[in-house]
Amino acid sequence: MQARDLTAYMRPGLLQLQALPPLALYLHLPWCIRKCPYCDFNSHAVRGDEAVVRWAGANEPIPAAVQAPAELPEQRYIDALIADLEAALPLVWGRTVHTIFIGGGTPSLFSPQAIDRLLGAVRARVRLEADAEITLEANPGTFETNRFRAYRAAGVTRLSVGVQSFDDELLRAVGRVHDRAQAIAALDEAAQAFDTFNLDLMYALPGQTPAMLEADLATALSLAPPHLSVYHLTIEPNTFFAKYPPALPEDDIAYAMLDRITEATAAAGMQRYEVSAYAKPGHRCAHNLNYWAFGDYLGIGAGAHSKLTFAHRVVRQVRLREPGLYMEQALAGAALAQDDDVRRADLPFEFMLNALRLRDGFALQDFTERTGLPLTAIAAGLAEGERRGLLARDAARAWPTERGFDFLSDLQELFLAP
């Protein structure tokens, strides 16, 4: 489907939004070598049926090197992204793009030349902030010497390396296509090629013990990443692990693992500024901070999500998920699958769902500016959060307490629409 006529977004409505929040651009490249059994993102294995190989995985060797298959429709997909962006430009006309995030899938399957072409097309069509943060997700299984430097030359300023673990046994258990040696080599190259980069780790993996986590942490921190993202493995619906659940560590062990992660990262000079993110000073992820602060983002690519603010409404859009259909429709200027106004009653929860992930919380004024609602819309939730010891506030800000960080879902639920 095509976006609504621009006048439909501008017509009078129930909200009065006095200012537009910062705008980010998300570009989705949906292909992977194979789909991980825990992944519920819009990702597609380039080798077809290999998406559902036997994920016990122990009998399947980790490939020594991974090349993008010839059937990856690189140029056609870039053409589709450019056409999709052009069709969306009227919705963001005149606005500055502050950050770009190229996610997936495995964007590092795409050649540096393709990324260079994509970013050049973006720069030619939008007003991009000088020195904008431009992140690209990379998989160590697609790593080649000098490849990361070529991404840097193409305009990428920050790499996010999806390591998940340095333990070969655990990597096989979660279906990753790289091994420990490839992960370390990729991170060494990232450190040489970029001024800043992120390392993704997961914990509470199938069969993982506290000692195994300790070894992963020690290896990760020895590589001195400026930014570390750490995620608890969760079993999401419609994944291979949902159908065939693995044995995971008990909850009390998982909580102890998180405590150890927070302790070790703090000792290494990293601050936990968001529930899942740790950074050295000056290395916080600006793109993700915009998400958590309820900023705007234009999502381009198969299955990409957008959140856009207009004078009288906040709009959410979703692109078509299936890559082949997406390319066909994007080239025809009709890539949308959904295009809806956010209900006024849902805005408090949507804002708080994001803002409460931040250690520093949010400015009360930002709530009114970015939702168009008065503070009375969240007054009861704030008061109850304080009463339970989950939240603290002063005249200007509200933020989760240590207990609130530990029981974040309980805190967020206080702001659900009645």
Q: Mind listing the domains of the chain with CATH numbers?
A: 23-289 (3.20.20.70), 345-418 (1.10.10.10)
Q: What is the dihedral of CA 116, 122, 127, 130, to 10 degrees?
A: -20
Q: What is the pLDDT of residues 90-138, one digit of tens each?
A: 999 999 999 999 999 889 999 999 999 999 999 999 999 999 999 999 9
Supply the pLDDT for residue 310.
98
Q: What is the pLDDT of residues 322-339, one digit of tens each?
A: 999 999 999 999 999 999
Supply the pLDDT for residue 47.
57
Give residue 94's Cα distance to chain centre.
25
Burial class (CB in 10 A: 0-12, 13-18, 19+), 118: buried
Supply the pLDDT for residue 82.
99
Q: How far apart are CA 183 and CA 164, in angstroms?
A: 9
Average pLDDT over residues 272-289: 98
Residue 275 pLDDT > 60: yes
Query: Which of the given ranges, 2-6, 162-166, 305-309, 414-418, has the highest pLDDT on average?
Result: 305-309
Supply the pLDDT for residue 69.
47
Supply the pLDDT for residue 67.
47
Residue 4 pLDDT > 60: yes
Least reliable range by pLDDT among 146-150, 151-155, 301-305, 347-351 = 146-150
Higher-confidence position of 145 and 289: 289
Residue 37 pLDDT > 90: no
The pLDDT > 90 percentage for the chain reads 77
Supply the pLDDT for residue 57.
34
The rounded mean pLDDT for the chain is: 90
Residue 40 pLDDT > 60: no
Supply the pLDDT for residue 91.
97
Q: How far apart are CA 317 and CA 298, in angstroms?
A: 9
Supply the pLDDT for residue 42.
55
Residue 55 pLDDT > 70: no
Residue 236 pLDDT > 80: no
Q: What is the pLDDT of residues 140-162, one digit of tens each?
A: 877 777 899 999 999 999 999 99
Supply the pLDDT for residue 34.
62
Residue 75 pLDDT > 90: yes
Determine how β-strand 96-104 pairs with β-strand 23-29: parallel
Supply the pLDDT for residue 249.
83
Supply the pLDDT for residue 144.
74
Average pLDDT over residues 28-53: 59
Residue 389 pLDDT > 70: yes
Q: How far apart are CA 398 and CA 401, in angstroms?
A: 10
Neighbours of 343 (CB within 10 A): 11
Is the Cβ–Cβ distance between 271 and 289 less than 8 Å?
no
Binned at pLDDT 50, 70 and 90, residue 357 comes out as very high
Residue 240 pLDDT > 70: no
Least reliable range by pLDDT among 49-63, 222-236, 263-277, 292-306 = 49-63
Average pLDDT over residues 171-177: 81
Supply the pLDDT for residue 358.
98
Residue 68 pLDDT > 60: no
Q: How far apart are CA 293 and CA 306, in angstroms?
A: 15
User: Which residues lie closer than 8 Å to 218 by C-beta, 6 or more apart?
Assistant: none
